[in-house]
Amino acid sequence: MAVSQNDARARLTEALIRTGDEDRAAFRDLYALTSAKLFGICLRICGERQAAEDVLHEVYLTVWRRAGAFEPGRASPITWLATIARNRAIDWRRANGRRPSLSMEHAAEIPDAAPLASETMEADEESHTLHHCLDGLEDRQRVAIRTAFFDGLTYAEIAERDSVPLGTMKSWVRRGLARLKECLDR
Amino acid sequence: MSDDLPAGPEPDMAAAELALGLLDGEERAAALRRVLAEPGFAGEVERWRFYLAQLFDLWPEAAPAGDVLARVERTIHGGRARPAWAWPAAAAGASAIAASLLVVLLFRPMPVMGPVQQPTVAARAAPMLVAAIVPSAKGDMVKAVYDPGSGMVRLTAASLAGAGKSAELWVIAGDGVPHSLGVLPKGEGMAMPVRQDMRPMMAAGSVLAVSIEPEGGSTTGAPTGPVVATGALSAV
C-alpha cells in the first residue's frame, strides 16, 4: 500500500519535472494522473461544469508554464497542483462576482474522516494530527474552517450564508484557528 | 466549554486566515503587506498552507469533459485560442472612490509604452478594475486602472524611487506570491500591457504593490527591496 502510494507520487513528480522541460508526453501523463482531482476542486468552487472546465483549462496552461518552478523538496506535486487549481477557481469566482453556491448540503459531500492512505504524504503523522485537531474543535468552528477551505469562501461570505453577524463569525473562527494551532504545535 | 463570551483580545490569526482565504478587501491587503514585510509572518502562512494541504486528500474527484486536454494543447502548441470564460459582463458594485479614479485616469492622456494599441474607451463587456496604490510613508498615491478587454494597465505618475533605484510594480493574486508587472518610469504616467499568462491574476481582490529595486528592476523574479505602496484591485 505504502509502496504503491510512493510509486504514484514518484511518477507524478517525474511527470511534473519533465513537463517543466516542455515534454508534451509527460504533460499528457500529468493530465491523466491529476485532472479528476483538479476538476473536482474547480467544480466545487465554481459551482457549474462549464465554468469549471474553463478554469481547468486555465489551470493546466498555468501548470505548463510554471512547472519549471516546481521544487520537489518543498511541496508534494499534488499539493502544488491542487493549490493552483483552488486559487484559480477562487480568482474566477471573485472576478465574476459569483455568489457562492448556496446549499450547505453539498458541504456534507466531503468526507469527515482522514483517508486511509494520505495522497499528499507530506508526512502521514501531520495529516492525522490535522484531522485529529480539527475533530477537537466545536462543530461550528470546524464547519466554518472546512467551508472556507472547500468552498473558497471569505468571512463575509460564510457569515452571510449562515446568517451569522460578521463579527461573530470572525470570533468563532479566530478562536477555532487558535485552538487548532495550539493542537498542531503540540 | 463555551466560546460565546470572549475573554481578552482576540488572537491574531492573520497568517491562518490568509492561508485559508478568509480575508478580503483591506484586511487581505494588510495581510499581504505583512507577507512582504515580515519573514516570520510569511513563514507562518507557509506552515498553515502546508497543514491545510492535507485537506486536499478529502476532496472528491470528478471527471472533466473529454476535450479539455485537447483545448489546452491547442492553446499551448498552436493557435491563440482565448479561454472561453474571458471576463463576463457583470460589473460588481462600484465604490465612489473607484469610480472617481476611473474618471481621472480615462480622461488623462498618457504615453503608451511599447508596441501596444491604445485601449478604447468605448462600451465594453468586461468590468474595469481600479486600485489606489497608497504609499506607506509619504508620497503620492498611484492610481491604476486595468482594462481586461485590452489587457492594459494604466498608472498615474509615480515618484516612489530615489536616484539609482527603480520602482517595480507587482500583482499578488490567489497564490500570495508577487508577480512582476514591470518597472515604473520615473515621474510620468504610463500604460503597459499585462502578459497574457498573468491576466487571470488581475482580478478584483488581487493586490498591486510597488517595491524599490536596483535600477532596472529586480533580477531575482521576486521583490528584493522594501514594499513602499500597496492597493487592492476592485471592479467598477
Q: How many domains does chain A fold into?
A: 2
**pLDDT score for B120:** 39
Distance CA A64, CA B76 (A): 8
Q: What is the pLDDT of residue B199?
A: 87
Distance, CA of A96 to CA of B85 (rounded, Å): 10
CB contact under 8 A, A184 and B51: yes
Quick one: DSSP state of residue B208? Answer: E
Q: Which of A52, A87, A174 faces B13 most closely, judged by CB atoms?
A: A174
Residues A165 and A180 in one domain: yes
Extract the residue ranges of chain B whose pLDDT is less than 50: 1-3, 80-100, 102-124
CATH number of the domain where residue A133 is located: 1.10.10.10
Residues spanned by the domain of A158: 101-186
pTM of the model: 0.63
User: What is the reported pLDDT for B141?
Assistant: 80
**Last residue of one domain, picked from the residues A73, A98, A123:** A98
> For residue B85, what is the DSSP state?
T
Q: Are residue A86 and residue A112 in the same domain, yes or no?
A: no
Same domain as A176, residue A118: yes
Same domain, A34 and A108: no
pLDDT the model gives residue B68: 93
The per-residue DSSP string of B103-150 comes to HHHHTS--PBPSS-PPPP-S--SSPPEEEEEEESSSSPPEEEEEETTT
End-of-domain residue from the set A98, A121, A153: A98
Q: Indicate if the pLDDT at residue A170 is higher than 50.
A: yes
Distance from CA of A30 to the nearest CA of B (A): 11
Residue pair B165/B159 in contact by the 8 Å Cβ criterion: no
Domain check: are A54 and A113 in the same one?
A: no
Task: Decide if the complex's ipTM is over 0.90.
Answer: no
Asked if residue A92 and residue A71 are part of one domain, the reply reads yes
* Residues A41 and A62 reside in one and the same domain: yes
Query: Domain check: are A50 and A18 in the same one?
Result: yes
pLDDT band at A2 (very low <50, low <70, confident <90, very high): low
- Residues B61, B62, B65, CA angle at the centre, nearest 5°? 150
- Map residue B221 onto helix, strand or coil: coil
Bridge partners, residue B132, by sequence = B143
Residue B126 identity (one-letter amino acid):
A
**What letter represents residue A144's amino acid?**
A
* Same domain as A56, residue A106: no
Any B CB within 8 A of A90 CB: yes
Nearest CA in chain B to A43: B62
Q: Note whether B53 contacts A122, CB cutoff 8 Å.
A: yes
- Looking at A98, A126, A146, the residue that finishes a domain is A98
pLDDT digits (tens, 9 = 90+) for A126-167: 556 888 899 999 999 999 999 999 999 999 999 999 999 999
Partner-chain contact B64 A51, CB within 8 Å: no
Q: Does B79 touch chain A (CB under 8 A)?
A: no
Distance between CA atoms of B236 and B99, rounded to whole angstroms? 6
List chain B domain ranges: 14-58, 96-235
CATH of the domain at A81: 1.10.1740.10
Tell whether B68 is within 8 A of chain A (Cβ).
yes
A138 lies within 8 A of chain B by CB = yes
Test the A interface: residue of B4, B10, B12, B20 with most A CBs within 10 Å? B20
Residue located via cell numbers 520602482: B167
Instruction: Please give the distance of CA A145 from its chain centroid, rounded to a whole number.
Output: 13
**Contact predicate A145/A177, CB 8 Å:** yes
Kindly report, residue by residue over A31-44, the tens digit of the pLDDT: 999 999 999 999 99
A9 and A91 part of one domain: yes
> Which of A9, A29, A61, A112 to substitute to test the interface with B, most B CBs within 10 Å?
A61
Q: pLDDT digit string (tens) for A54-104?
A: 999 999 999 998 888 888 877 789 999 999 999 999 988 888 866 665 444
Domain identity same for A69 and A144: no
Same domain, A7 and A67: yes
A168 in B contact zone (CB under 8 Å): no
